[in-house]
């Protein structure tokens, strides 16, 4: 008895079901169309973050930042971009254990600068660049030797290259008073330009060593200023203020 | 057309000596033209503010026969604009979306700037004609061999707010004079920094009026190309190769060209070239 009753009931029940199913499907397609790009963006961001952390991990493996737990934790000032379009540097205060040894301290702050700020858009140096070595000459010239990626991965241009150099000079100025000048090498070699524009044949002024005033006063002013430049020494002009590197 | 044999042999000696003398003059001219780029150049002894005492170019400029007489130059002015479409050859410069290459676009901009400058009556020389890549020194040398030249290097950035333009001058170089009054070639820009800044500010001011978001004064940078240039010298960098469409950049070219031409016109009265008196130490 129940069976024949069920049979005819099946069709009228099926019709609204199909209607709802189709409506649901339409909504699902619409929803997917709306949310897919958002989802895509999220996934890209997640991938980028993961890539960043992988890079960071790799850097930590290849280039151990010498951290000594007994080093005093210091409020270090690092110079990254203030915003992606503005092309101006702004100091960011980061609490770091920093060595009192100027060479170790320089390595620590430069490696932190390379690691980049939280927002990757505001970084000044390419993420794959590695600081290979840092020396401090007796006259106060810091020599920073970077992997080739510093030159090959940086966006070519006057603005981008100048900001890269300035961010290093300002960060050293703010944290390592012993470094008076900065010389940048690429894989142990002196190069003519960073990526076609900014001159790397000379040294960049980090801390003016006039002896009158310590150069710490310029925290805010430092953000917009460009590193002064010392051209390579010339044989015909004995200029005592020009740094002579050991071997060129 | 055919000459008798005897005639020919009698012509041989003068012919050979003629060829030889041609070679000799060619070699001498080449040496003479090259010398300003490789010798040390005399400078004025003091770094006085610009316009009251202008750094004298180079001893080497005396080689350049095209230099105007001192009297004419002293009335002021810019005799020539050396335009440098940066990069070229294997050096593509900044590379952006959709195959945009800085080396290519700087050529287009240079053509437009040249037109605008020539309309204002300036003589314009380009540092490269095609897709080659002269060295920094070779590009500088074109301006250094002229008296009364200004030098403008054109770039397209890979960063910055699209649609803005920045002008750069070299940041301070250390004092350059030595007891014998020579400027080293590798710091040729040093005595011109004051003039370069004036030119840079004038051009940047014109650009700011057209391209909103651009700075109102010139920036400083340690630009390799400018360091060896013994003339008022600026770099103009347009943002950027990262545009949606190449036409976005193309549309900027006439405005950039016009602003540069107006800036150079405004600079003209500030560029007073002293007479020959100051040239020799
Ligand atoms: Zn360029």
Q: Between the CA of residue B32 and those of B36, B38, B147, what are the distances in Å?
A: 8, 11, 16
Query: Nearest Cα to B164, choosing from A196, A81, A159?
Result: A159
Q: Which residues contact A124 (CB under 8 A, 6 or more apart)?
A: A79, A80, A81, A89, A113, A163, A164, A166, A167
B29 plus B117 within the same structural domain: no
CA B104 to chain CA centroid, Å, is 19
Of residues B154 and B71, more confidently modeled: B154
> What's residue A227's pLDDT?
62
Structural domain contains residue A183: yes
Nearest-by-CA chain A residue for B237: A158
Mean pLDDT, chain B, integer: 77
Dihedral pair phi/psi, residue B12, rounded to 5°: -60, -45
To which H or E segment does residue A32 belong? helix A2-62
Q: Residue B135 has which token pair?
A: 């060295």
Residues B114 and B252 in one domain: yes
Q: Which residues of A make CB contacts under 8 Å with B?
A: 85-87, 155-160, 162, 165, 192-193, 196-199, 201-202, 204, 226-232, 234, 236-239, 241-242
Nearest CB to A198: which of B86, B222, B240?
Answer: B222
Token output for B247 = 């036409």
For residues A148 and A152, give the distance between their C-alpha atoms in angstroms, rounded to a whole number: 6
B158 in any annotated domain: yes
Q: What is the CATH number of the domain that holds B192?
A: 3.40.630.40
Residues near ion ligand 1 (Cβ under 5 Å): B 86, 93, 155
Q: How many CB atoms lie within 10 A of CB B123?
A: 15
Rounded to the nearest angstrom, the distance between the alpha carbon of B155 and the centre of ligand 1 is 4
B227–A199 CB contact, under 8 Å: yes
In-domain check, residue A26: no
Rounded Cα distance, A148 and A150, in Å: 5
Average pLDDT over residues A229-237: 49
As a whole number, the mean pLDDT across chain A is: 76
Closest CA to B198 of B233, B154, B174, B149: B233
Give the per-residue pLDDT at B177. Answer: 52
List strands edge to edge, sheet with A181-186: A131-136, A141-146, A181-186, A203-205, A229-230
Q: Span B16-31, mean pLDDT?
A: 47
Distance from CA of B45 to the nearest CA of A (A): 13
Q: Is residue A105 in some structural domain?
A: yes
Residue B82 three-state SS: strand
Let me know whether B225 and B188 are in one domain. Answer: yes
Whether residue B250 is predicted with pLDDT greater than 90 in this model: the reply is yes
Residues of B in contact with A162 (CB under 8 A): 221-222
> Who has greater pLDDT, B197 or A215?
B197
Chain Cα centroid distance, residue B278 = 22
**Domain total of chain B:** 2
Residues B156 and B84 grouped into a single domain: yes
In this prediction, residues A201-205 reach a mean pLDDT of 93
Say if B127 falls within a structural domain: yes
Q: What range does the domain containing B219 cover? A: 48-270
Contact B172 A229 (CB under 8 A): yes
* pLDDT the model gives residue A86: 66
User: Is B222 in Cβ contact with A226 (below 8 Å)?
Assistant: yes
pLDDT digits (tens, 9 = 90+) for B97-122: 788 999 999 999 999 999 999 999 99
Q: Are residues B27 and B165 in the same domain?
A: no
Cβ contact, residue pair A196, B87, below 8 Å: yes
Given the DSSP bridges, would you call strands B233-238 and B149-156 parallel, antiparallel or unpaired?
A: parallel
Residues B84 and B182 in one domain: yes
> Are B187 and A201 an interchain contact pair (Cβ–Cβ within 8 Å)?
no
Yes or no, beta carbons of A159 and B237 under 8 Å apart: yes
Question: What is the tens place of the pLDDT at every residue in A214-232?
Answer: 333 333 333 345 666 666 5
Residue A162's domain comprises 73-210
How high is the pLDDT of residue A191? 97
pLDDT at residue A8, rounded to an integer: 46
Per-residue pLDDT of A110-126, as tens digits, reads: 999 999 999 999 999 99
pTM over 0.90: no
User: Chain A: nearest CA to B104, how far in angstroms?
Assistant: 15
Which of A215-224, A232-241, B11-20 is the most confident on average?
B11-20
Mean pLDDT score, A56-82: 72
Q: How far is CA A26 from CA A35, A36, A37, A207, in A?
A: 14, 15, 18, 66
Contact list in A for residue B224 (CB cut-off 8 A) is 192-193, 197-199, 201
Q: Contact, B88 vs B131, CB < 8 A?
A: yes
Q: Do B93 and A202 touch (CB under 8 A)?
A: no
Distances A73 to A207, B200, B256 between C-alpha atoms, Å: 23, 44, 50
């Amino acid at each position: 008895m129940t069976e024949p009753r069920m049979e005819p009931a099946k069709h009228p029940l099926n019709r609204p079901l199909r209607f709802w199913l189709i409506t649901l499907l339409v909504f699902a397609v619409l929803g997917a169309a709306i949310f897919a790009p958002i989802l895509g963006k999220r996934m890209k961001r997640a991938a980028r973050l993961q890539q960043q952390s992988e890079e960071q991990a790799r850097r930590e493996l290849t280039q151990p930042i010498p951290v000594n737990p007994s080093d005093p934790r210091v409020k270090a000032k690092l110079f990254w971009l203030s915003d992606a379009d503005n092309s101006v540097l702004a100091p960011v205060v980061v609490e770091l254990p920093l060595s009192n040894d100027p060479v170790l301290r320089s390595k620590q702050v430069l490696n932190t600068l390379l690691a980049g700020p939280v927002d990757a858009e505001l970084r000044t140096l390419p993420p794959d660049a590695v600081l290979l070595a840092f020396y401090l000459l007796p006259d106060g010239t810091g020599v920073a030797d970077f992997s080739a990626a510093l030159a090959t991965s940086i966006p070519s241009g006057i603005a981008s290259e100048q900001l890269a150099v300035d961010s290093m000079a300002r960060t050293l100025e703010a944290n390592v008073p012993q470094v008076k000048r900065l010389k940048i090498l690429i894989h142990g070699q002196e190069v003519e330009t960073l990526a076609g524009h900014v001159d790397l044949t000379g040294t960049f002024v980090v801390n003016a060593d006039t002896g009158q005033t310590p150069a710490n006063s310029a925290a805010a002013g430092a953000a917009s200023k460009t590193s002064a430049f010392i051209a390579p020494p010339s044989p015909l002009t004995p200029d005592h203020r020009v740094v002579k590197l050991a071997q060129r | 057309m055919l000459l008798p044999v005897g005639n020919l042999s009698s012509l041989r000696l003068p012919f050979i000596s003629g060829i030889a003398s041609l070679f000799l003059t060619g070699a001498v001219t080449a040496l003479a033209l090259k010398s300003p780029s490789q010798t040390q150049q005399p400078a004025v002894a003091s770094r006085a503010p610009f316009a009251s005492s202008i750094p004298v170019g180079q001893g080497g400029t005396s080689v350049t026969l095209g230099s105007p007489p001192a009297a004419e130059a002293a009335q002021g002015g810019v005799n020539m604009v050396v335009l440098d479409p940066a990069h070229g050859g294997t050096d593509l410069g900044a590379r952006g979306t959709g195959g945009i290459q800085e080396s290519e676009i700087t050529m287009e901009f240079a053509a437009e700037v040249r037109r605008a400058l020539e309309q204002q009556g300036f003589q314009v020389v380009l540092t490269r004609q095609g897709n080659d890549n002269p060295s920094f020194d070779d590009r500088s040398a074109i301006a250094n061999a002229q008296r009364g030249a200004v030098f403008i290097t054109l770039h397209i950035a890979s960063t910055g707010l699209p649609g803005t333009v920045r002008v750069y001058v070299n940041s301070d170089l250390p004092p350059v004079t030595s007891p014998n009054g020579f400027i080293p070639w590798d710091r040729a820009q040093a005595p011109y920094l004051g003039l370069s800044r004036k030119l840079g500010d004038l051009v940047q001011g014109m650009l700011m009026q057209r391209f909103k978001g651009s700075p109102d004064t010139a920036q400083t940078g340690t630009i390799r190309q400018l360091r060896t240039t013994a003339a008022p010298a600026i770099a103009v960098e347009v943002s950027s190769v990262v545009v949606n469409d190449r036409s976005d950049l193309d549309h900027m070219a006439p405005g950039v060209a016009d602003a540069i031409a107006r800036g150079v016109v405004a600079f003209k009265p500030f560029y007073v070239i002293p007479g020959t008196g100051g040239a020799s130490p």
